[in-house]
Amino acid sequence: MTRITAIVADDEAPVRKHLLTQLLAVWPDLIISGEAENGPAALALIEKLKPDIAFLDIKMPGFSGMDVAKRVAGICRVVFITAHDEFAVEAFESEAIDYLLKPITEERLSKTAQRLIESITSSRRPPIHLPDIIARIMADMQRNKASDYLQWVKVPYQDGIRLVSVNDIYYFQANLKYSKAFLKNQSPLINLSISSLSKELDPNVFWQIHRGTIVNISYIDKVSTSKTGRGLIKLKDRSELLTVSRPYLHLFK
């Protein structure tokens, strides 16, 4: 019987050392054929050495352990390593994907080793449906992260770019394809449209009041009704009045 081989990928050398030490204690027969310290290196190593197992840290420079796993399914079995990622861990649990939590305990590692040995000796075929599952988990994670609202917008500043906190912006006004952000003393152009802003900004703070206007409600001073039945908004520190068109008037009722 050929010996089982594995590679270890983690961006931190001490963590790789830790995993190797634990593996040596729990699974002395395992041959570690290589180490990698980032996503691309791990991928190259796996393609070159074709190990039976890849221990992959999730968060790595270049691209993540999950990206690597997606591309090498069918070549080798994958065990993910993570320090703390509740979302991923939950997903791994429900999909019966192998993972280890840092720091790695011998107890847990020996369970994982047992499962791997069984799987390798019985079928000798790594699961092929893994890429789909991983792609789905990654999409879920992305969506989970995407729920963070836009906090900073880029504005041109002197020769470069500056980031401005959306909390400092009184309102946005459509300007051709882009929009203008009105701050206390300036109104720079930003390269986002009103419709994309309305999707990305926190709806509890930013209200669209017109086809071309989004207002930061924390700066509203007074709301009144004009003779034509539209709403007029007066903002703090600013003299101009913003118009609330009829479809958005219900917001202020």
Partner 1 sequence: MGSVAREIKRKLIIKYFFVTEFVTICFVVFLTSSNFATGYGHRATFELNFLFSQWLCITVYGFVLVALRFSEKDNRSLRLLLFTIIILTGAILGTLLGAAFDFDRRDKDFLWIIIHPELFFQLVFLGISLGTIIGLSFHREEKILIAKAHLQEEELKRLANEKKIMETNLRILLSQIEPHFLFNTLTSAIGLLDSDLKRGKTMLLNLTHYLRISLAKSRRSNNSITKEIEMIEAYLQIFALRMGDRLQYTIDIQEGIDHLLIPTMLIQPLVENAIKHGLEPAIKGGAINIRIRTNENYVRIEVADTGPGFHKNSKLGVGLSNVKERIDILYSGAGRFVLDENQPSGLKAIIEIPYDQNNGDSGR
Q: Which residues bind partner 1 (CB under 8 A)?
A: 11-19, 21, 38, 40, 59, 61-62, 83-85, 101-104, 145, 148, 151-152, 154, 157, 160-165, 167, 222
In angstroms, give the least distance from the CB of 71 to partner 1.
Answer: 17
Instruction: Look up residue 109 and give its two tokens.
Output: 């590692």
From the CB of 40, what's the least distance to partner 1, in Å? 7
Smallest gap from Cβ 150 to partner 1, in A, equals 9
* Residue 9 bridge partners (DSSP): 36, 56
Nearer to partner 1, 41 or 76 (CB): 41
Name the residue nearer to partner 1 (CB basis): 25 or 118. 25
DSSP string, 199-252: HHS-TTTEEEEETTEEEEGGGEEEEEE-TTS-EEEEETT---EEEE-GGGGGGG
Min dist CB 164 to partner 1, Å, is 8
**Closest to partner 1 by CB, 111 or 154:** 154
Contacts of 232 (CB under 8 A, 6+ apart): 223, 224, 225, 226, 241, 242, 243, 244
Residue 4 or 15: the one with the smaller Cβ distance to partner 1 is 15
Q: Which is nearer to partner 1, 125 or 163 (CB)?
A: 163
State in angstroms the smallest separation of the CB of 93 from partner 1. 18
3-state secondary structure of 143: helix
Of 18 and 71, nearer to partner 1 (C-beta) is 18
List for the chain the helix, strand, coil content (%; round to 5): 40, 30, 35
CA of residue 187 relative to chain centroid, distance: 31
CB neighbour list of residue 52: distance below 8 Å, 6 or more residues apart: 4, 5, 6, 76, 77, 116, 120
Residue indicated by tokens 């041109």? 156
Q: Which of 60, 169, 74 is nearest to 123 (CA)?
A: 74
- At its nearest, how many Å lie between partner 1 and the CB of residue 196? 12
For the chain, the straight-line distance linking the first and the last C-alpha, in angstroms and rounded, comes to 77
CB of 44 to partner 1, least distance (A): 12
Cα separation, 173 vs 155, whole angstroms: 14
Nearer to partner 1, 122 or 147 (CB): 147
